[in-house]
């Protein structure tokens, strides 16, 4: 396409400008993706280089080091101990002892079993005396996978610590050579509340994240490549094992029929994904604009009782969502208050199918979500609107802008600019908005064509509620849930990447400052 210079661009008409920008946006996508790939490749190359440098440094430390350093390669912390840094030395040594002990006693076993995820399942033996079958439980695939991953983490931690141990020796030699004293254990402890204070502060949060987020995520990603489900729970019935990319084939191949349903998993996935995106779009933007509108109405000059209006809305944030959602869900039910009211007024003859008709249900959840979301957005928008410098409006009014122009030329661009990142997180947050959907409809009405697709997926189900249904469904197809989870990640990551790379408002951070 033609490229315009800045001055040529300024000569275009309004529509030409919009078209040009739009075209630039889409033609920019391949470049952005290419740049991403380039950056990834650059990252890989950088990592390769880093490994090479590290190896070279380790080697030179070994060759140039004294005997204390050399021995430290085998006995971690020896150099520290020999040079008087008792505390550090003992910690290194302790870590090595624990590591070796763990690897010999348990780690080795878990690692060796990891490729097969267990060899012998539960066996039954007939006890002639008691005339019963007794089951002996043998290998446990779940534990093998879990502890296998844990052992890998441990090994990585060990390699890192070992590298630190080598570095310490090099550093210590350098410091001693320059005639300065080494840091004592007391200095080390002191530095934990001073120059190394960030390590102390991060220790607890990072441990939590590592154990309760990173480890489970790695585990669940791996589950996507196994046949772990209710009938292969890895212990009490059948072992589970690696199945390669089979599950992705099941989920994404149009020709693979789902068990029981009339359409493939791929078709169901497509439908659910489409609805998820539509939902996220509407849930985000209806709330955003209506919330902004309410905020502007309340904050308008001359409106009294501002605090009252605001408090009424804020009150609804305070009440735990599950109460309001569950209650409203029942209000809209066939025999609920709303239908009852409308019928008693004689406005309708039959109950409106709020939750029974797919389209009705979808519109209703979006509307109720507006009810849930506006108070929050009102608060956000109020804060930002108050930050818009008043002189911008004054200058616009002197320039002759009418209220509508003031809104589109000042308020809206400012809001969009400031809340750009917020909109993005809000969009992805809505994609994963489990509570609203699950507590309102539970995914209903059920999609008959897809009913076989693990857990009776419905017309208002998002990927996230579908995932939940799969895991709690009769067959507990964890592997499918895991595939859905990975796909959710891919979608969210792609959207975030595109938005971050292409939206100018996020790139030109300083524009409005």
Partner 1 sequence: MSENRLLDRSSDAPVKRHMGLKASRTLANTSIYVLLVVISVVWLIPFICIVLQSFRVESTWQESYVIPKQWGLDNYRALFKTDFPRWYTNTFIAALFTAILQTIIVLCMSYTLSRFRFKMRKGLMRFMLILSMFPGMLTMIILYRVLSDLGLTQANALPGLILVYVASSGMGYYVSKGFFDTIPKSLDEAARVDGATRFQVLKKIILPLSKPIVIYTVLTAFMGPWGDFVFARYVSFGTSSGMNVAVGLYNWLNKDQIAKSYTMFCAGGVLVAIPVTVLFMCLQKYYVEGVTGGAVKG
Nearest partner of 465 among 448, 488, 442, judged by Cα: 442
Asked if 273 is part of the footprint of partner 1 (rule: CB under 8 A), the reply reads no
Choose which of 81, 298, 440, 457 interacts with partner 1 (CB under 8 A). Answer: 298
Q: How far is Cα 123 from Cα 139, in angstroms, rounded to an integer? A: 10
Q: Enumerate residues 13-42 that contact partner 1 by CB under 8 A.
A: none
Return the range that interacts with partner 1 (CB under 8 A); candidates 32-40, 88-96, 180-188, 308-316: 308-316
Asked if 496 is part of the footprint of partner 1 (rule: CB under 8 A), the reply reads yes
- Buried b / exposed e over 147-175, threshold 16 CB at 10 Å, is bbbbbeebeeebeebbeebbebbbebbee
Asked if 331 is part of the footprint of partner 1 (rule: CB under 8 A), the reply reads yes
Helix (H) or strand (E) holding 292: helix 265-299
Q: Enumerate residues 75-104 that contact partner 1 by CB under 8 A.
A: none
Q: Give min distance, CB of 11 to partner 1, in A.
A: 29
Count of helix runs (H) and strand runs (E) in the chain: 23, 2
Asked if 137 is part of the footprint of partner 1 (rule: CB under 8 A), the reply reads no
Nearer to partner 1, 67 or 305 (CB): 305
Using an 8 Å Cβ cutoff, are 336 and 327 in contact? no
Q: Which residue in this structure is represented by tokens 């009810």?
A: 371
Dihedral sign (CA 122, 124, 129, 131): positive
Q: Enumerate residues 336-395 that contact partner 1 by CB under 8 A.
A: 336-337, 339-341, 343-344, 371, 375-376, 379-380, 382-384, 387
Q: How far is Cα 189 from Cα 87, in angstroms, rounded to an integer? A: 9
Q: List the x/- string, 141-180, binding to partner 1 by CB under 8 A.
A: -x---x----------------------------------
Q: Enumerate residues 394-423 that contact partner 1 by CB under 8 A.
A: 402-404, 406-407, 418-422
Helix (H) or strand (E) holding 502: helix 478-502
Asked if 504 is part of the footprint of partner 1 (rule: CB under 8 A), the reply reads no
Choose which of 323, 348, 363, 416 interacts with partner 1 (CB under 8 A). Answer: 323
Nearer to partner 1, 23 or 416 (CB): 416
Nearer to partner 1, 106 or 493 (CB): 493
Asked if 280 is part of the footprint of partner 1 (rule: CB under 8 A), the reply reads no
Nearest partner of 379 among 287, 483, 244, 488, judged by Cα: 287
Q: Tokens for 322?
A: 């599950």
Using an 8 Å Cβ cutoff, are 238 and 255 in contact? no
Q: Give min distance, CB of 319 to partner 1, in A.
A: 5
Q: Give min distance, CB of 81 to partner 1, in A.
A: 27
Nearer to partner 1, 71 or 351 (CB): 351
| Three-state secondary structure call for residue 142 | helix
Q: Give min distance, CB of 405 to partner 1, in A.
A: 9
Nearer to partner 1, 36 or 104 (CB): 36
Choose which of 74, 129, 130, 204 interacts with partner 1 (CB under 8 A). Answer: 204
Choose which of 197, 254, 348, 507 interacts with partner 1 (CB under 8 A). Answer: 197
Q: Give min distance, CB of 133 to partner 1, in A.
A: 26
Choose which of 201, 245, 278, 348 interacts with partner 1 (CB under 8 A). Answer: 201
Return the range that interacts with partner 1 (CB under 8 A); candidates 112-120, 123-131, 167-175, 326-334: 326-334
Nearer to partner 1, 155 or 314 (CB): 314
The DSSP 8-state label assigned to residue 184 in this structure reads P
Q: How far is Cα 355 from Cα 343, in angstroms, rounded to an integer? A: 17
Choose which of 4, 9, 62, 219 interacts with partner 1 (CB under 8 A). Answer: 219
Q: List the x/- string, 461-490, binding to partner 1 by CB under 8 A.
A: --xx--xx--x------x--xx--x--xx-
Using an 8 Å Cβ cutoff, are 117 and 234 in contact? yes
Angle (nearest 5°) at CA 469 between 465 and 475: 160
Three-state SS annotation for 304-354: CCHHHHHHHHHHHHHCCHHHHHHHHHHHCCCCCHHHHHHHHCCCCCCCCCC
Number of residues lying near partner 1 (CB under 8 A): 106
| Three-state secondary structure call for residue 247 | helix
């Amino acid at each position: 396409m033609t490229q315009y210079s800045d001055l040529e661009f300024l000569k275009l008409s309004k529509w030409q400008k919009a078209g040009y920008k739009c075209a630039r946006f889409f033609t920019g996508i391949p470049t952005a993706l290419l740049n991403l790939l380039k950056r990834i490749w650059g990252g890989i190359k950088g990592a390769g280089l880093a490994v090479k440098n590290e190896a070279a440094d380790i080697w030179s430390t070994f060759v140039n080091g004294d005997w204390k350093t050399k021995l430290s390669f085998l006995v971690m912390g020896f150099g520290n101990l020999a040079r008087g840094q008792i505390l550090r030395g003992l910690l290194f040594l302790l870590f090595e002892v624990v590591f070796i002990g763990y690897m010999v006693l348990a780690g080795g076993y878990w690692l060796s079993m990891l490729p097969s995820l267990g060899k012998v399942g539960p066996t039954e033996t007939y006890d002639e005396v008691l005339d019963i079958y007794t089951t002996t439980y043998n290998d446990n695939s779940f534990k093998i996978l879990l502890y296998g991953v844990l052992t890998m983490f441990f090994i990585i931690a060990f390699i890192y610590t070992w590298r630190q141990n080598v570095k310490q020796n090099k550093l210590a030699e350098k410091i001693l050579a320059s005639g300065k004293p080494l840091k004592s254990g007391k200095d080390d402890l002191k530095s934990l509340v001073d120059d190394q204070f960030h390590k102390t502060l991060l220790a607890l949060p990072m441990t939590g994240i590592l154990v309760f987020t990173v480890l489970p995520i790695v585990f669940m990603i791996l589950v996507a490549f196994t046949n772990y489900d209710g009938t292969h729970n890895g212990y009490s019935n059948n072992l589970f094992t690696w199945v390669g990319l089979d599950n992705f084939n099941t989920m994404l191949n149009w020709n693979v029929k789902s068990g029981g349903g009339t359409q493939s998993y791929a078709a169901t996935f497509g439908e659910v994904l489409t609805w998820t995106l539509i939902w996220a779009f509407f849930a985000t933007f209806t709330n955003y604009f209506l919330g902004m509108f309410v905020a502007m109405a309340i904050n308008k000059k001359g409106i009294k009782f501002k605090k009252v209006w605001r408090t009424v809305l804020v009150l609804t944030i305070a009440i735990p969502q599950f109460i309001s959602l569950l209650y409203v869900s029942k209000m809209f039910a066939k025999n609920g208050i709303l239908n009852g009211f409308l019928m008693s007024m004689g406005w309708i003859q039959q109950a409106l199918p709020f939750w029974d008709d797919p389209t009705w249900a979808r519109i209703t959840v979006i509307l109720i979500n507006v009810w849930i979301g506006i108070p929050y957005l009102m608060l956000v928008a109020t804060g930002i609107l108050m930050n818009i410098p008043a002189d911008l409006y004054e200058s616009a009014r002197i320039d002759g802008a009418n209220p509508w122009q003031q809104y589109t030329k000042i308020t809206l661009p400012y809001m969009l600019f400031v809340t750009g990142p917020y909109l993005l997180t809000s969009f992805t947050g809505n994609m994963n908005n489990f509570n609203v959907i699950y507590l309102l409809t539970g995914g209903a009405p059920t999609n008959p064509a897809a009913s076989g697709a693990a857990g009776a997926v419905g017309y208002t189900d998002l990927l996230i509620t579908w995932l939940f249904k799969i895991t709690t469904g009769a067959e507990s197809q964890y592997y499918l849930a895991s595939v859905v989870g990975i796909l959710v990640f891919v979608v969210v990551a792609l959207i975030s990447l595109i938005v971050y790379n292409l939206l100018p408002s996020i790139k030109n951070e300083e524009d409005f400052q």
